[in-house]
Protein backbone atom coordinates (compact mmCIF):
# COMPACT_ATOMS: atom_id res chain seq x y z
CA UNK A 1 0.00 0.00 0.00
CA UNK A 2 1.44 3.25 -1.10
CA UNK A 3 0.37 6.83 -0.48
CA UNK A 4 1.36 9.65 -2.81
CA UNK A 5 1.55 12.96 -0.98
CA UNK A 6 2.33 16.31 -2.52
CA UNK A 7 0.87 19.69 -3.33
CA UNK A 8 -1.87 19.99 -5.96
CA UNK A 9 -0.11 19.80 -9.32
CA UNK A 10 2.96 17.96 -8.00
CA UNK A 11 2.06 15.05 -10.27
CA UNK A 12 0.24 12.65 -7.95
CA UNK A 13 -2.28 11.57 -10.59
CA UNK A 14 0.30 11.19 -13.37
CA UNK A 15 2.66 9.16 -11.17
CA UNK A 16 -0.15 7.07 -9.71
CA UNK A 17 -1.46 6.12 -13.17
CA UNK A 18 2.01 5.02 -14.27
CA UNK A 19 2.80 3.13 -11.04
CA UNK A 20 -0.57 1.40 -11.09
CA UNK A 21 0.29 -0.17 -14.47
CA UNK A 22 3.84 -1.08 -13.43
CA UNK A 23 2.82 -2.59 -10.09
CA UNK A 24 -0.50 -4.09 -11.23
CA UNK A 25 -2.46 -2.58 -8.32
CA UNK A 26 -5.40 -0.14 -8.41
CA UNK A 27 -4.98 3.62 -8.39
CA UNK A 28 -7.46 5.18 -5.99
CA UNK A 29 -7.96 8.90 -6.36
CA UNK A 30 -10.61 10.57 -4.22
CA UNK A 31 -10.54 13.54 -6.63
CA UNK A 32 -11.30 11.21 -9.58
CA UNK A 33 -14.11 9.55 -7.61
CA UNK A 34 -15.67 12.97 -6.90
CA UNK A 35 -15.28 14.20 -10.50
CA UNK A 36 -16.91 11.03 -11.81
CA UNK A 37 -19.85 11.40 -9.41
CA UNK A 38 -20.18 15.08 -10.40
CA UNK A 39 -20.27 14.23 -14.09
CA UNK A 40 -23.05 11.70 -13.39
CA UNK A 41 -24.93 14.29 -11.28
CA UNK A 42 -25.38 11.63 -8.60
CA UNK A 43 -26.46 12.58 -5.06
CA UNK A 44 -22.84 12.34 -3.93
CA UNK A 45 -21.72 14.37 -6.94
CA UNK A 46 -24.17 17.15 -6.15
CA UNK A 47 -23.14 17.12 -2.51
CA UNK A 48 -19.41 17.52 -3.17
CA UNK A 49 -19.61 19.88 -6.17
CA UNK A 50 -19.73 23.07 -4.09
CA UNK A 51 -16.49 22.12 -2.33
CA UNK A 52 -14.57 20.72 -5.28
CA UNK A 53 -15.23 23.59 -7.68
CA UNK A 54 -14.02 26.17 -5.17
CA UNK A 55 -10.95 24.15 -4.18
CA UNK A 56 -12.29 23.51 -0.66
CA UNK A 57 -11.87 20.17 1.05
CA UNK A 58 -14.86 17.82 1.17
CA UNK A 59 -15.73 17.07 4.85
CA UNK A 60 -13.55 14.35 6.40
CA UNK A 61 -16.45 12.11 7.44
CA UNK A 62 -17.74 11.83 3.89
CA UNK A 63 -14.31 11.20 2.34
CA UNK A 64 -13.38 8.61 4.98
CA UNK A 65 -16.61 6.73 4.37
CA UNK A 66 -15.98 6.58 0.61
CA UNK A 67 -12.40 5.42 1.07
CA UNK A 68 -13.39 2.76 3.60
CA UNK A 69 -15.91 1.35 1.12
CA UNK A 70 -13.43 1.42 -1.78
CA UNK A 71 -10.57 -0.20 0.16
CA UNK A 72 -12.85 -3.03 1.28
CA UNK A 73 -13.22 -4.18 -2.32
CA UNK A 74 -11.53 -7.35 -3.48
CA UNK A 75 -9.09 -5.69 -5.92
CA UNK A 76 -7.37 -3.89 -3.02
CA UNK A 77 -6.28 -7.08 -1.23
CA UNK A 78 -2.87 -7.10 -2.93
CA UNK A 79 -2.15 -3.41 -2.59
CA UNK A 80 -3.25 -0.05 -3.94
CA UNK A 81 -1.98 3.45 -4.56
CA UNK A 82 -3.73 6.31 -2.77
CA UNK A 83 -3.66 9.64 -4.59
CA UNK A 84 -5.15 12.70 -2.89
CA UNK A 85 -6.04 10.88 0.33
CA UNK A 86 -5.38 11.44 3.19
CA UNK A 87 -5.39 15.24 3.07
CA UNK A 88 -5.90 16.10 6.76
CA UNK A 89 -4.60 14.65 10.01
CA UNK A 90 -8.10 13.47 10.81
CA UNK A 91 -8.16 11.52 7.52
CA UNK A 92 -4.70 10.05 8.21
CA UNK A 93 -5.94 8.76 11.57
CA UNK A 94 -9.09 7.39 9.99
CA UNK A 95 -6.95 5.64 7.35
CA UNK A 96 -4.83 4.04 10.09
CA UNK A 97 -7.92 2.50 11.59
CA UNK A 98 -9.34 1.42 8.20
CA UNK A 99 -6.05 -0.34 7.35
CA UNK A 100 -5.93 -1.98 10.77
CA UNK A 101 -9.51 -3.19 10.40
CA UNK A 102 -8.78 -4.65 6.96
CA UNK A 103 -5.31 -6.00 8.00
CA UNK A 104 -3.61 -4.06 5.22
CA UNK A 105 -0.15 -2.71 6.04
CA UNK A 106 1.03 0.70 4.82
CA UNK A 107 4.40 0.29 3.09
CA UNK A 108 5.51 3.74 2.00
CA UNK A 109 4.44 7.35 1.77
CA UNK A 110 6.05 9.09 -1.17
CA UNK A 111 6.15 12.87 -0.96
CA UNK A 112 6.36 14.36 -4.47
CA UNK A 113 8.41 17.54 -4.22
CA UNK A 114 7.99 20.42 -6.69
CA UNK A 115 8.60 24.18 -6.30
CA UNK A 116 5.58 26.48 -5.92
CA UNK A 117 6.34 28.29 -9.22
CA UNK A 118 6.34 25.00 -11.06
CA UNK A 119 3.09 23.95 -9.40
CA UNK A 120 1.29 27.05 -10.64
CA UNK A 121 2.63 26.52 -14.18
CA UNK A 122 1.60 22.87 -14.13
CA UNK A 123 -1.92 23.46 -12.80
CA UNK A 124 -2.78 26.37 -15.05
CA UNK A 125 -1.70 24.46 -18.19
CA UNK A 126 -3.25 21.13 -17.22
CA UNK A 127 -5.96 19.63 -19.43
CA UNK A 128 -7.91 16.44 -18.71
CA UNK A 129 -9.71 14.05 -21.04
CA UNK A 130 -13.41 14.13 -20.28
CA UNK A 131 -13.72 10.55 -21.42
CA UNK A 132 -10.72 8.55 -20.09
CA UNK A 133 -9.17 10.94 -17.53
CA UNK A 134 -5.74 11.09 -19.24
CA UNK A 135 -3.72 14.12 -18.17
CA UNK A 136 -2.02 16.54 -20.62
CA UNK A 137 -0.29 19.92 -20.37
CA UNK A 138 -0.56 22.61 -23.02
CA UNK A 139 3.25 23.18 -22.94
CA UNK A 140 4.97 20.23 -21.21
CA UNK A 141 2.84 17.37 -22.53
CA UNK A 142 0.65 18.70 -25.35
CA UNK A 143 -1.76 16.36 -27.15
CA UNK A 144 -1.05 15.67 -30.85
CA UNK A 145 -4.19 17.57 -31.81
CA UNK A 146 -5.18 20.57 -29.70
CA UNK A 147 -8.12 19.81 -27.41
CA UNK A 148 -8.27 16.11 -28.34
CA UNK A 149 -7.09 13.13 -26.25
CA UNK A 150 -4.25 11.11 -27.87
CA UNK A 151 -5.57 7.87 -26.38
CA UNK A 152 -9.32 7.88 -26.93
CA UNK A 153 -10.14 10.96 -29.02
CA UNK A 154 -12.13 12.43 -26.10
CA UNK A 155 -12.50 16.16 -25.49
CA UNK A 156 -9.87 17.82 -23.27
CA UNK A 157 -11.09 20.30 -20.67
CA UNK A 158 -9.70 22.49 -17.93
CA UNK A 159 -10.82 21.57 -14.41
CA UNK A 160 -12.86 24.32 -12.79
CA UNK A 161 -10.46 24.19 -9.82
CA UNK A 162 -7.41 24.65 -12.10
CA UNK A 163 -8.47 28.26 -12.73
CA UNK A 164 -6.29 30.95 -11.00
CA UNK A 165 -8.60 31.83 -8.09
CA UNK A 166 -9.16 28.20 -7.11
CA UNK A 167 -5.46 27.34 -7.54
CA UNK A 168 -4.48 29.98 -4.99
CA UNK A 169 -7.05 28.68 -2.58
CA UNK A 170 -6.04 25.03 -3.05
CA UNK A 171 -2.41 25.86 -2.32
CA UNK A 172 -3.37 27.69 0.87
CA UNK A 173 -5.52 24.72 1.92
CA UNK A 174 -2.62 22.39 1.12
CA UNK A 175 -0.15 24.32 3.29
CA UNK A 176 -2.57 24.57 6.16
CA UNK A 177 -4.22 21.13 6.19
CA UNK A 178 -2.14 18.65 4.22
CA UNK A 179 1.48 19.66 4.82
CA UNK A 180 1.33 18.53 8.48
CA UNK A 181 0.98 14.97 7.15
CA UNK A 182 4.63 15.07 6.08
CA UNK A 183 5.63 15.23 9.76
CA UNK A 184 3.01 12.62 10.69
CA UNK A 185 4.43 10.01 8.29
CA UNK A 186 8.04 11.03 8.90
CA UNK A 187 7.54 10.26 12.59
CA UNK A 188 6.24 6.82 11.62
CA UNK A 189 9.39 6.24 9.52
CA UNK A 190 7.35 5.78 6.32
CA UNK A 191 8.06 8.99 4.39
CA UNK A 192 10.43 9.43 1.45
CA UNK A 193 10.86 12.63 -0.58
CA UNK A 194 11.08 12.28 -4.36
CA UNK A 195 12.12 15.22 -6.50
CA UNK A 196 9.56 15.64 -9.30
CA UNK A 197 11.26 18.48 -11.15
CA UNK A 198 12.81 15.85 -13.43
CA UNK A 199 11.35 13.95 -16.41
CA UNK A 200 8.47 11.68 -15.37
CA UNK A 201 10.35 8.48 -16.29
CA UNK A 202 13.12 9.41 -13.88
CA UNK A 203 10.91 10.06 -10.85
CA UNK A 204 8.81 6.95 -11.59
CA UNK A 205 12.02 4.86 -11.78
CA UNK A 206 13.17 6.29 -8.47
CA UNK A 207 9.91 5.32 -6.76
CA UNK A 208 10.04 1.82 -8.27
CA UNK A 209 13.59 1.43 -6.92
CA UNK A 210 12.54 2.60 -3.46
CA UNK A 211 9.76 0.01 -3.39
CA UNK A 212 12.07 -2.74 -4.63
CA UNK A 213 14.82 -1.91 -2.11
CA UNK A 214 12.19 -2.10 0.58
CA UNK A 215 11.29 -5.67 -0.34
CA UNK A 216 14.91 -6.89 -0.04
P1 LIG B 1 -7.59 16.27 -6.59
O2 LIG B 1 -7.98 15.70 -7.89
O3 LIG B 1 -6.88 15.26 -5.70
O4 LIG B 1 -6.79 17.54 -6.73
O5 LIG B 1 -8.94 16.64 -5.81
C6 LIG B 1 -9.82 17.60 -6.34
C7 LIG B 1 -10.74 18.13 -5.24
O8 LIG B 1 -11.52 17.05 -4.70
C9 LIG B 1 -10.05 18.74 -4.04
O10 LIG B 1 -9.67 20.09 -4.26
C11 LIG B 1 -11.14 18.60 -2.98
O12 LIG B 1 -12.17 19.53 -3.20
C13 LIG B 1 -11.71 17.22 -3.30
N14 LIG B 1 -10.94 16.16 -2.60
C15 LIG B 1 -10.20 15.18 -3.17
N16 LIG B 1 -9.65 14.39 -2.24
C17 LIG B 1 -10.05 14.89 -1.04
C18 LIG B 1 -9.79 14.54 0.30
N19 LIG B 1 -8.99 13.50 0.62
N20 LIG B 1 -10.36 15.28 1.28
C21 LIG B 1 -11.16 16.32 1.00
N22 LIG B 1 -11.43 16.73 -0.25
C23 LIG B 1 -10.88 16.02 -1.28
pLDDT of residue 152: 98
Kindly state whether residue 166 falls inside one of the protein's structural domains. Answer: no
Residue-level pLDDT, tens digit, the chain, 216 residues: 999 999 999 999 999 999 999 999 999 999 999 999 999 999 999 999 999 988 899 999 999 999 999 999 999 999 999 999 999 999 999 999 999 999 999 999 999 999 988 999 999 999 999 999 999 999 989 999 999 999 999 999 999 899 988 898 999 999 999 999 999 999 999 999 999 999 999 999 999 999 988 765
Residue 163 lies in a domain: no
Measured distance CA(64)–CA(56) in Å, rounded: 16
Q: What number does the ligand 1 atom closest to the CA of 30 have?
A: 16
Has residue 124 been placed in a domain?
Answer: no
Range of the domain at 190: 2-115+179-215
Q: Is residue 133 part of a domain?
A: no
Query: What's the pTM value of the predicted model, to 2 decimals?
Result: 0.91
C-alpha angle 203-175-194 in degrees, rounded to nearest 5: 15
Task: Residue 166: name the closest of 7, 5, 51 by CA.
Answer: 51
In a domain, 145, yes or no: no
**Pairwise CA distance, residues 169 & 55, whole Å:** 6
CATH value at residue 195: 3.40.50.300
Structural domain contains residue 50: yes
Mark whether 77 is an active-site residue: no
Q: Which atom of ligand 1 is nearest to the CA of 86?
A: 19
Dihedral of the alpha carbons of 159, 160, 165, 170, in degrees to the nearest 10? -60
Q: What is the DSSP string of 164-186?
A: HHHHHHHHHHIIIIITHHHHHHH
What is the pLDDT, as a whole number, of residue 216? 58
| 12 in catalytic set | yes
> Which residues have CB under 8 Å from 203's CB, separation 6+?
11, 15, 112, 194, 195, 196
Nearest ligand 1 atom to the CA of 32 is 2
C-alpha 181/C-alpha 186 separation (Å) is 8
Q: Which of 18, 35, 70, 87 is catalytic?
A: 87
Question: Ligand 1: does its nearest atom lie under 6 Å from the Cβ of 85?
Answer: yes
> Does the C-beta of 174 come closer than 6 Å to ligand 1?
no
- The C-alpha atoms of residue 111 and residue 14 are separated, in whole angstroms, by 14
Total number of domains in the chain: 1
Taking the CA of residue 54 as reference, the ligand 1 atom at the shortest distance is 12
Q: Are 99 and 82 in contact (CB under 8 A)?
A: no
Q: Is residue 136 part of a domain?
A: no
Q: How far is the CA of 29 from the centre of ligand 1 (A)?
A: 9
Half-sphere exposure of 127 (CA within 13 A, CB side): 20
List the beta strands (DSSP E) in 7-122: 27-29, 81-83, 108-113
Active site residue 126: yes
**Residue 156 within a domain:** no
Q: Using CA positions, which residue lies closest to atom 14 of ligand 1?
A: 31
Kindly list the distances between the CA atom of residue 111 and the CA atoms of 10, 19, 59, 185, in Å, as whole numbers in the listed order.
9, 14, 23, 10
Question: Cα(215) to centroid of ligand 1, in Å?
Answer: 31
170 a catalytic residue? yes
SS3 139: coil
Q: Is residue 69 annotated as part of the catalytic site, yes or no?
A: no
Tell whether ligand 1 has an atom less than 6 A from the beta carbon of residue 184: no
Amino acid sequence: MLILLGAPGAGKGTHAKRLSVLLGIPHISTGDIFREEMSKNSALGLEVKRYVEKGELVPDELVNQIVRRRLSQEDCRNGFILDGYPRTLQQAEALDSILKELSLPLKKVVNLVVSEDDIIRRLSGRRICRNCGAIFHIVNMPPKVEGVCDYCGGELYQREDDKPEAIRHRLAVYHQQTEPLIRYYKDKGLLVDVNCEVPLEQSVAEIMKLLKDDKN
